[in-house]
Structure 1
Amino acid sequence: MTYPKSNPTMKHDLQCSQNLPAESKSLLAEMGMSSLSDLFRILEECNVSAPTPICSVYAYADAPDHPAPLSRSLTICGVADSAISLVRKIMSDDALPDGLCKSTIAVQLADKSHFSLLEPRHQKNSTIFARFMKRLRKENSVGVISKDKYNRFGLLVPMTKEGRDETLVDSEDCAAFLYTSTLEDVREAFSGARHQEVMAVEQSGGESLWQPPAGEVIGGEETLWRPPTTEDEAATSTAGDSWQPPGSDTNPWNTCETGAATTEIWGPDSDQHTSGTKRGLDEVCDEKDGSIQDTNFHVDTGAAAADAFYSGLTRNLDTRADSRLYHMRAFNGWVKATQISELNPRVAINGAVQPMRPLRVLDLACGKGGDLTKWSLHQRGMSNYCGIDVARGSLKDAAIRIREMRNRNKLQMTKTTLICADLGADVPGRKKASTHRNMQKLLSWSLQEESEFESNPPEFKMVRGGGIEAETFDVVSIQFAIHYMMSTNRRARRFFHTVSELLDVGGNLICTTIDARVVVGHLLNLGLDYHFDRDDEIDIRAVVQAGAGACRITFEPEIVRRIVKSHSSNSDEDLFGLQYTFTLVEGSDHKAGVGDAVNLPEWLTPIPVLEALGKEAGLELEYAENFHEFYENRNEEPSARNALYNMRVLNRNGTITEEEWSICRLYAAIRFRKVRESTINLDEEEETNHDDSEEEEEVKIDPIEEKKKLPMAMMKAKKAAGDEKWKGFSSEQKKRLTQIELKKLLNL
């Protein structure tokens, strides 16, 4: 990159926390940082009281503007060795932490051709800056800008040019790159064991860590939305991907063309990679030891599998940077962030429309709290955040994240709650049926119940209603998880009814999920003859692939038969329980955290089915857009387009790879608005499975207390049955009797 040709947008005072050393002295020796720990320490400790002015510099249109424009004063608190891993990572221009922004600052040109044209004051100003850049480049170092009130710091990196004459001022000496980010984002990217690995590499003088390869310019274009397609594909790339109003198409799948993904048929003997990047369950939660409580905590087997998988999944900003799908994941994050930023609901309570106020957010499938920053940056702010997930290990990580955000004044709200629940079976904040006397007890954690400086592991307790009794919300979000609700009609209806009960009229439900229209379109284009007379004629697994095999969606023969049947008959019951195995492979090094990002059973979510369920629950479908279409509808909006760069969606060629883009097309973004109360009635179903004498059967047992009392409960159960009879019991009988004694010990 060369000296900027556009007009500057803002002027800044470049200053230093101390007097710059004389040019005869080394910057690194006098004010240098030689390690990552030094860099973090100085950034935290730097308290500038009387900085020394250096010169004036100008920023351009690419300067960061979120959460606010750059400060008028940019203060250098030291210089850092370019060999530090963080500096190397940032200067690579790829795989950067979320929120990091690259911009340009400059002074007026003071090279040989322009120097005489400048006023004396500009000659002096530009020369000082150019000499400082030469010193940084000569010592292979960068300037470190101290953090501002938004916790943003910066790295001032000289531009380089091969074969320059170091005795003269060059045009590139009059400009520099400025990388800005928050300490929070950088700490997350270089935390834990990975941080220790980085430090070891630095101390040993080893090679830098591997960075994802740069993307390619595809089809001669540097645009995100135009990967190479055939003429036929280009003509229909978005047609058929959007939701159609009722009556426009009786096909429940509303399939579209095959697109960029490929399909493949696997025979019964084919290998399928199923290993994931997981910690042992005993490392995830203190209460887990592989005993009864882990297998019985969630009634639904899909929820139990998700609990085990996601609780043990190693995922952070550093491992994500090593992913082969880095930019695809960043694009998915952009879709979520854009959905969130567009929300501005006006809710009505008891028929009265409420004034605009900070949002009350219910974040379903919240995981480790990765979307918290997106919510906290919303223009309306947040007054209440409740995160719900099936994975106990992920919730503990989320609680720690929330603590850290509060301590850094990044999370300011009146109420923050985390709940472990399966929304296809559990009901937080409400009774399961109108005839029930009590609400269900759920494992819950509240930030407000902790001391401000709590450092012990987060303590989750069994709380009636999960701690959100009688609360309602402006927004409900479920990202990449609503498909877990579609295994049965009952689970799906329970989910939509619960969401409707917790959402005020006028509020929004937003979600992202696999686009069943696209997936079934691929499936029906496998070339198989579906005009069969007997069900057993389809006896092979079918696999839809995208991203050169990085994404695989596997259907067993029975499900293939059901999809074809439902496609022709439109039977309601045939549209539920359409299970597939979704595998997303981010890399091959599972120990390093870049193995299978997902490898779980999921269920197709036909858009017309979601629309019908939403209508019964009082929710009106506002849009259902394929990710490609979602992008096309927003790429001209300045804020959304800027976010593509700020969130590191685009690689250095201004695009993402064709493989990643083809995977993106497998997803859809959906938004509902609540227009009335739910008409779904689940009382009869609940009463069928409900015994008043055993009402507390619906109360889950606190895993921590269960672990403590389990040995005593088993001893009592064995004593009550007698040794001989106990020996003859099956394992299921022993578990049932032990659970009865356990509840007695816990007074349940």
Structure 2
Amino acid sequence: MAEAQGASRWKSFKRPRSPPRAPTAVGPSTATASVVAQHYNKRKNTHRTTTSGATIQGLRNMNNFIKSCLLNHYLRPNCSVLDIACGKGGDFSKFRAGRIGHYVGVDIARGSVVDAISRYNGNGADLKPYPFTARFLSGDCFATDLASHLPRALRFDVVSCQFAIHYAFESGARARQAMRNMAARLQPGGFLVGTTVDASVLSAKLKASLSSATPGEFGNQHYRVVFDRALVGEGALQAELERCPFGATYRFTLEDSVEDVPEWIVCKPVLVALAEAEGLKLVRWSNFHDFFEEESGPQAELLRRMNVLPEPHHRQTEAEWEVAYLYTVFAFEKEAGPGPRMRAPHPGRAMHTRVEPASIIDCAALPLEQLGAEPRQPGAPEAR
């Protein structure tokens, strides 16, 4: 099969491994959150198909295939889902395929939430309303107490955070608040699933760039990574992450997607430690290359339907495959607690209830002291 041949050819890509790093407490910094929000608010709302013709359409199809396979492992009929950084509702079709019962989406970019509501309601020539109940919130998911804006009895079976948790790693306080939000309303036995940058890959590519004409910069015709100058140098990134595992920043550009947006390194041991503090245990961690190898055989029909390996060669380009190498999937399970399972009532069968933009719940960011920022000592440098 052409798909299998394509997958086999990609086995030559090996991912470097990074040594573990311990978490360190730091204070919050939300100065760039508005920059990210403004970027996504400006993006045009378009409904793409698997053959829309975008220059990185193959990569988009790959990312959607990865997310579909990941969610398929954990979604169950009539389950409730919290979608952190929901954007314009790009994963609605995946939740429909999973036959979920109730959906809550939250995003920092209010314009994106408005677009998500439009998509949910089925506005557009080739779209239909989605068959699950929904509510939407707008606010900084990583500096807001989401629980205070939700019905008290509401619990989630799955929390999804796709391509977003790295924005929380600007500071320790933001990362901790993000994890609290994702874990607080998760049912015992429920799952937090998502995708984020693979720190070991970024670290290896940064090291390789030091001998190039542009140290600290790397990429191809589809993407560009530019590290903060303080992190460019032999062992500089490692030393900085050992000193403080939050706030290690780089600028990221991805063709037809993001342009020179700040992102932050996510150290796996730190993310795991934050999750464990909230009663979550790691059950899955795989680079996109590895996860694709695992899923492309069992999900060959989905692979074909989503046009991940397009004609005529039934493969992605090397440049697109390199971009996919930058990311990893993860899944955490909520450990059972002493209390009973709670669940907001869901309809007996999936249904749609129209939502209006006026119903968006606005979530104000918490004051720094409520975020858990450590007090700054007189004369001490400000914590990131």
TM-score, length of structure 2 as denominator length: 0.78
Q: What do the CA deviations read for 1:416-461 (whole angstroms, capped 9, x no partner)?
A: 101002121111223xxxxxxxxxxxxxxxxxxxxxxxxxxxxxxx
Give the number of equivalent residue pairs. Answer: 335
| Distance in 2 of aligned mates of 1:302 and 1:363 | 22
Within 5 A, what are the aligned runs for 1:61-72? none
In 2, are the aligned partners of 1:614 and 1:620 still within 8 Å (CA)?
Answer: yes
In 1, are the aligned partners of 2:6 and 2:314 still within 8 Å (CA)?
Answer: yes
For 1:497, the aligned partner's letter is: R
| Distance in 1 of aligned mates of 2:294 and 2:42 | 37
Within 5 A, what are the aligned runs for 1:334-483? 334-344=65-75, 358-378=78-98, 381-404=99-122, 410-413=129-132, 415-430=133-148, 465=149, 467-483=150-166
Q: What do the CA deviations read for 1:701-733 (whole angstroms, capped 9, x no partner)?
A: xxxxxxxxxxxxxxxxxxxxxxxxxxxxxxxxx
Q: Taking structure 1 as reference, are residues 389 and 344 closer, same or farther at Cα in structure 2, changes over 3 Å only?
A: closer
Counterpart secondary structure, 1:633: helix
Q: Taking structure 1 as reference, are residues 560 and 252 closer, same or farther at Cα in structure 2, changes over 3 Å only?
A: farther
Equivalent residue number for residue 623 of structure 1: 284
Counterpart secondary structure, 1:321: coil
Within 5 A, what are the aligned runs for 1:26-105? none
Counterpart secondary structure, 1:552: strand
Equivalent residue number for residue 600 of structure 1: 261
In 2, are the aligned partners of 1:541 and 1:556 still within 8 Å (CA)?
Answer: no
Q: What do the CA deviations read for 1:275-327 (whole angstroms, capped 9, x no partner)?
A: xxxxxxxxxxxxxxxxxxxxxxxx92322112111111014245982321110
Q: Is 1:508 matched with 2:191?
A: yes
Counterpart secondary structure, 1:411: coil
In 2, are the aligned partners of 1:578 and 1:603 still within 8 Å (CA)?
Answer: yes
Q: What do the CA deviations read for 1:127-172 (whole angstroms, capped 9, x no partner)?
A: xxxxxxxxxxxxxxxxxxxxxxxxxxxxxxxxxxxxxxxxxxxxxx
In 1, are the aligned partners of 2:156 and 2:190 still within 8 Å (CA)?
Answer: yes
1:569: how far off?
Answer: 7.7
| Distance in 2 of aligned mates of 1:342 and 1:516 | 24
2:271 aligned to 610, 616, 619, which one?
A: 610
In 2, are the aligned partners of 1:519 and 1:544 still within 8 Å (CA)?
Answer: no
1:628: how far off?
Answer: 0.4
| Distance in 2 of aligned mates of 1:478 and 1:489 | 18
| Distance in 2 of aligned mates of 1:558 and 1:476 | 35
List runs of 5+ in structure 1 lacking aligned partners.
1-216, 242-248, 254-298, 346-356, 431-464, 530-539, 587-595, 690-748
2:308 aligned to 633, 649, 656, which one?
A: 649
1:336: how far off?
Answer: 0.5
1:685: how far off?
Answer: 4.0
Equivalent residue number for residue 7 of structure 2: 225
Equivalent residue number for residue 585 of structure 1: 255
| Distance in 2 of aligned mates of 1:365 and 1:507 | 19
Greater CA radius of gyration, 1 or 2? 1
Within 5 A, what are the aligned runs for 1:174-213? none
In 2, are the aligned partners of 1:624 and 1:671 still within 8 Å (CA)?
Answer: yes
| Distance in 2 of aligned mates of 1:664 and 1:583 | 14
Q: Is 1:332 matched with 2:63?
A: yes
1:643: how far off?
Answer: 0.8
For 1:599, the aligned partner's letter is: D
What is the alpha-carbon root mean square deviation over aligned residues? 3.2
Counterpart secondary structure, 1:400: helix
| Distance in 2 of aligned mates of 1:686 and 1:412 | 37
1:250: how far off?
Answer: 4.1
Q: Taking structure 1 as reference, are residues 366 and 683 closer, same or farther at Cα in structure 2, changes over 3 Å only?
A: closer
Q: Is 1:557 matched with 2:250?
A: no
2:320 aligned to 660, 669, 674, which one?
A: 660
| Distance in 2 of aligned mates of 1:606 and 1:613 | 11
Equivalent residue number for residue 349 of structure 2: none
| Distance in 2 of aligned mates of 1:328 and 1:687 | 36
1:621: how far off?
Answer: 0.7
| Distance in 1 of aligned mates of 2:239 and 2:35 | 32
| Distance in 1 of aligned mates of 2:48 and 2:101 | 31
1:675: how far off?
Answer: 1.0
Equivalent residue number for residue 56 of structure 1: none
1:565: how far off?
Answer: 4.3
In 2, are the aligned partners of 1:579 and 1:604 still within 8 Å (CA)?
Answer: yes
Q: What do the CA deviations read for 1:10-55 (whole angstroms, capped 9, x no partner)?
A: xxxxxxxxxxxxxxxxxxxxxxxxxxxxxxxxxxxxxxxxxxxxxx
| Distance in 2 of aligned mates of 1:400 and 1:489 | 35
1:470: how far off?
Answer: 3.8
1:673: how far off?
Answer: 0.7
1:520: how far off?
Answer: 0.4
Equivalent residue number for residue 350 of structure 2: none
Counterpart secondary structure, 1:223: helix
For 2:334, the aligned partner's letter is: K
Equivalent residue number for residue 525 of structure 1: 208
Q: Taking structure 1 as reference, are residues 222 and 624 closer, same or farther at Cα in structure 2, changes over 3 Å only?
A: closer
Q: What do the CA deviations read for 1:577-606 (whole angstroms, capped 9, x no partner)?
A: 0111110123xxxxxxxxx54431110111
2:46 aligned to 316, 322, 343, which one?
A: 316
Counterpart secondary structure, 2:183: helix
List runs of 5+ in structure 2 lacking aligned partners.
23-28, 338-365, 374-384
Counterpart secondary structure, 1:629: helix
For 1:647, the aligned partner's letter is: M
Q: Is 1:496 matched with 2:167?
A: no
Q: Taking structure 1 as reference, are residues 549 and 574 closer, same or farther at Cα in structure 2, changes over 3 Å only?
A: farther
| Distance in 2 of aligned mates of 1:521 and 1:566 | 10
| Distance in 2 of aligned mates of 1:409 and 1:324 | 27
Could you say which structure has the greater relative contact order, defined with CA pairs below 8 angstroms and 6 or more residues apart?
Answer: 2
In 1, are the aligned partners of 2:7 and 2:296 still within 8 Å (CA)?
Answer: no
Equivalent residue number for residue 542 of structure 1: 216
| Distance in 2 of aligned mates of 1:513 and 1:684 | 26
1:510: how far off?
Answer: 0.7
For 2:224, the aligned partner's letter is: R
Equivalent residue number for residue 437 of structure 1: none
1:635: how far off?
Answer: 2.1
Q: Is 1:567 matched with 2:228?
A: no
In 1, are the aligned partners of 2:231 and 2:237 still within 8 Å (CA)?
Answer: no
Q: Taking structure 1 as reference, are residues 400 and 553 closer, same or farther at Cα in structure 2, changes over 3 Å only?
A: same
Give the share of equivalent positions with the same residue, in percent: 28
| Distance in 2 of aligned mates of 1:521 and 1:507 | 34
For 1:331, the aligned partner's letter is: M
1:411: how far off?
Answer: 2.3
Q: Taking structure 1 as reference, are residues 468 and 553 closer, same or farther at Cα in structure 2, changes over 3 Å only?
A: farther
| Distance in 2 of aligned mates of 1:581 and 1:409 | 37
In 1, are the aligned partners of 2:169 and 2:266 still within 8 Å (CA)?
Answer: yes
In 2, are the aligned partners of 1:622 and 1:672 still within 8 Å (CA)?
Answer: yes
1:550: how far off?
Answer: 1.4
| Distance in 1 of aligned mates of 2:334 and 2:20 | 26
1:567: how far off?
Answer: 2.0
Equivalent residue number for residue 204 of structure 1: none
1:688: how far off?
Answer: 7.9
Q: Taking structure 1 as reference, are residues 684 and 367 closer, same or farther at Cα in structure 2, changes over 3 Å only?
A: closer
Within 5 A, what are the aligned runs for 1:228-243? 234=12, 237-238=13-14, 240=16
Counterpart secondary structure, 1:605: coil
